């Protein structure tokens, strides 16, 4: 068995402050003997408006946040999975999840595929696609020290929960976590760990966060690692927190709370023997003769 660490922080519009929080998490993860650290979506920053979010985006070559984490990975000999923003054409950004290996190299990159466009009757019209470029592919799972990892990103709501006139309707968001197709496709490619770095709103998180994470773990018989943003990012935006690791039986084996006081980690043993046992003793034999294979 090996130890995986899931980190929780509260990103703001200050990339320097956010990097400092992540550096704390790297030190804490290293002290536990973890073989990988999983950080939330939008760890580099969360802006107070779509315009600020776009203006802060930098390429990985120019991002002091990314370069700082690459140095941390090298110095600590610790792979880091982290959600960032990257510039995209036509004044938009990419919501990206990168894998930085223990040498500090970016070896994997996944771009969020499910964007949130909605028109609510007598309510707001919201088009995330106007500021975010959607990803176009599922990245095949890859080998790491903690297992074979498949990358997903939870649906980012940081662009959407900015209007104080948006009430309950906006919390009925479809999250990438709500789309089992990607996780099933990753399982079919023998993913052993599926990531869901997130920035959930509090109402949605209270209702659905743990239930969806456990469902994804159970139906794929995989470990699910969900690093979450927590606390107040600005006067308009608060995230739910409750980072957790769920085992292939659907048990929460590590978790954090929702009140942000300082950057935190939780750790769990990744038992690939348990995963193999569950898959062997309860095989999920899909009837692709009567419905399509995902």
Element (H, E) at 19: helix 15-32
Among 22, 112, 152, 264, which one carries the catalytic annotation? 112
DSSP for residue 177: G
Among 35, 72, 154, 264, which one carries the catalytic annotation? 154
Rg (CA), the chain: 18
Q: What is the DSSP string of 109-166?
A: EEE-----EEE-TTS-EEEGGGTEEPP--PPPPEEETTEEEEE--PPP-TTTTT-TT-
Among 35, 41, 94, 264, which one carries the catalytic annotation? 41
Phi, psi of 13 (to 5 degrees): -80, 0
Q: Which two tokens stand for residue 208?
A: 């659905």
Neighbours of 212 (CB within 10 A): 21
22 tagged catalytic: no
Of 4, 66, 1, the residue nearest 38 (C-alpha): 4
41 tagged catalytic: yes
251 tagged catalytic: no
Q: Which two tokens stand for residue 87?
A: 């510039």
* Pairing status of strand 117-119 against strand 125-127: antiparallel
* Alpha helical stretches, state H, the chain: 15-32, 50-56, 64-76, 180-188, 202-220, 272-281
Of 198, 155, 180, 177, the residue nearest 6 (C-alpha): 198
DSSP for residue 49: S
User: Annotated catalytic sites, by residue?
Assistant: 41, 112, 154
């Amino acid at each position: 068995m090996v130890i995986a660490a899931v980190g929780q922080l509260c990103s703001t519009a200050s990339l320097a402050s956010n990097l400092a929080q992540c550096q704390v998490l790297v030190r804490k993860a290293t002290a536990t003997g973890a073989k990988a650290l999983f950080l939330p979506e939008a760890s580099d920053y969360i802006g107070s408006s779509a315009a600020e979010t776009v203006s802060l985006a930098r390429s990985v070559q120019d991002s002091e946040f990314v370069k700082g984490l690459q140095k941390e990975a090298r110095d600590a000999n610790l792979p880091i999975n982290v959600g960032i923003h990257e510039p995209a054409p036509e004044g938009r950004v990419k919501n990206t999840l990168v894998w930085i290996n223990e040498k500090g190299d970016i070896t994997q990159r996944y771009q969020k595929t499910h964007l949130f466009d909605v028109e609510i009757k007598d309510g707001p019209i919201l088009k995330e696609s106007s500021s975010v470029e959607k990803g176009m592919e599922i990245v095949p799972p890859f080998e790491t020290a903690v297992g074979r990892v498949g990358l997903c990103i939870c649906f980012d709501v940081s662009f959407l929960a900015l209007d104080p006139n948006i009430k309950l309707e906006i919390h009925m968001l479809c999250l990438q976590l709500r789309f089992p197709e990607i996780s099933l496709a990753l399982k079919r490619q023998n993913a052993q760990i599926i990531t869901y770095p997130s920035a959930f709103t509090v109402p949605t998180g209270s209702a659905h966060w743990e239930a969806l994470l456990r469902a994804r773990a159970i139906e794929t018989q995989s470990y699910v690692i969900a690093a979450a943003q927590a606390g107040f990012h600005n006067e308009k935006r608060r995230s739910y927190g409750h980072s957790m690791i769920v085992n292939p039986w659907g048990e929460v084996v590590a978790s954090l709370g929702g009140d942000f006081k300082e950057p935190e980690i939780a750790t769990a043993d990744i038992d690939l023997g348990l995963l193999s046992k569950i898959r062997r003793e309860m095989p999920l034999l899909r009837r692709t003769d009567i419905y399509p294979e995902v």
